[in-house]
Amino acid sequence: MELFKIDRPDTTIVEALQDKIDNLTKPKGSLGMLEKIALQIGLIQQTLQPALHHPVNVIYASDHGIADEGVSQSPKEVTRQVVYNFMNGGAGICFLSRQHGFELKIVDGGVDFDFPPTPQIINRKIRKGTRNFLHEAAMTTEEMNLAINYGADIVTDCYNEGCNVISFGEMGVGNTAASSMWMTCLTRIPLFDCVGAGSGLNSEGVKHKCKVLEQALENYQGNGTAEDIIRYFGGYEMVMAVGGMLRAAELKMIILVDGFIMTNCVLAASKLYPEMLPYCLFGHCGDEAGHKRILDYLQATPLLSLGLRLGEGTGAVCAYPIVDSAVRMINEMDSFKKASITKYF
């Protein structure tokens, strides 16, 4: 596996950042989460004047072998159909990206379809979908390493194009099932508490999904390490996101985290490199069962709670204006001294 050099942000600057925030023309702490976000971003960027440049949302897409077991409401062909919807600008993430000024990058990491060559899709197809982890490992070690590398390299491209704030999305029928497996194996939270409706299963569908995943757990013969869990149960798009997050942390970029699947990608990435967590801002808490539990496990405070469960990066991009407001606060508000206002706390 590719090695990353990720350092926790140097906390020497925290005192100066907090002092600047506390001396803006407002009661101390009165802008709540905006103050905490500004402090985190200033810490990441090691400056009292943080800035956001060229935001990008990267969507990794791939199919999952486990989808053959009926663990999703959606048939497998929906993956390629939704990718075309991304390309045509008609998906949820498309209007949000337009609204908030995000560049959208679409990556084919393993969709079970041959897209014609087009500049709208970055072709990093490893295989036409993962294997069915009910019976065998979803991917080989070589494929996992390739997915990590591909995901990381795309983030390097974003960075070289001027991006310093990045979010990740996903498309792949069956990926809530894979995420549930990562969650239960990497946290020891009971599987039942990790499994939800995904794209719309009813109660009987959720029971069937849980039964299939329980059997997959019983069948697993790996060594139980984080790396093996990631390989055995993951999707190519998920592992690419892990690689992307690790490279973003290495480059000291701000990582905006989306929903259940991407939060589990943060979980997986942090099991490999715990130092990556300070670079993450969690966009929202969604309605997928298990999302709040995994956020609590990571001791993460989400910015929004809007009942979202679409994926694609929508919750992360939707939260971006709050992050922008935090940066504007620390840069554009006057201090008591500059405004000649008596400090009133």
Q: Is residue 235 part of a domain?
A: yes
- Give a yes or no: residue 113 inside a domain: yes
278-305, pLDDT tens digit by residue? 999 999 999 998 999 999 999 999 999 9
Q: How much is the pTM?
A: 0.96
The model's pLDDT over 141-181, given as tens digits with 9 standing for 90+, comes to 999 999 999 999 999 999 999 999 999 999 999 999 999 99
Domain CATH number, residue 111: 3.40.50.10210
Cβ-Cβ contacts under 8 Å for 250 (sequence gap 6 or more): 4, 5, 6
How far lies 136's CA from each of 100, 141, 186, 202, 217, in Å?
A: 42, 13, 19, 27, 11
Q: Is 32 contained in some domain?
A: no
Count of the separate structural domains present in the chain = 1
The answer to the question of residue 152 being in a domain is yes
Residues written for the chain: 345
- The residue annotated as part of the active site, out of 2, 250, 312, 332, is 312
Q: How would you list the strands of the sheet with 103-110, edge to edge?
A: 121-123, 103-110, 56-62, 165-171, 254-257, 280-282
Task: Return the pLDDT at 305.
Answer: 96
Q: Where are the alpha helices (DSSP H) in 220-313?
A: 226-233, 236-250, 260-272, 291-297
The Cα 7–Cα 264 span in angstroms is: 21
Specify if 119 maps to a domain.
Answer: yes
Secondary structure E strands in the chain: 56-62, 103-110, 121-123, 165-171, 254-257, 280-282
The reply to whether 205 falls in a domain is yes
333, part of any domain: no
Which residues, other chains included, contact 1 with Cβ-Cβ below 8 Å and sequence gap of 6+? 144, 145, 148, 227, 272
Quote the CA–CA distance of 70 and 316 in Å, as a whole number: 29
Please report whether residue 215 resides in a domain. Answer: yes
Domain of 74? 56-323
Q: Is 312 a catalytic residue?
A: yes
Most confident of 54-58, 76-80, 289-293: 54-58
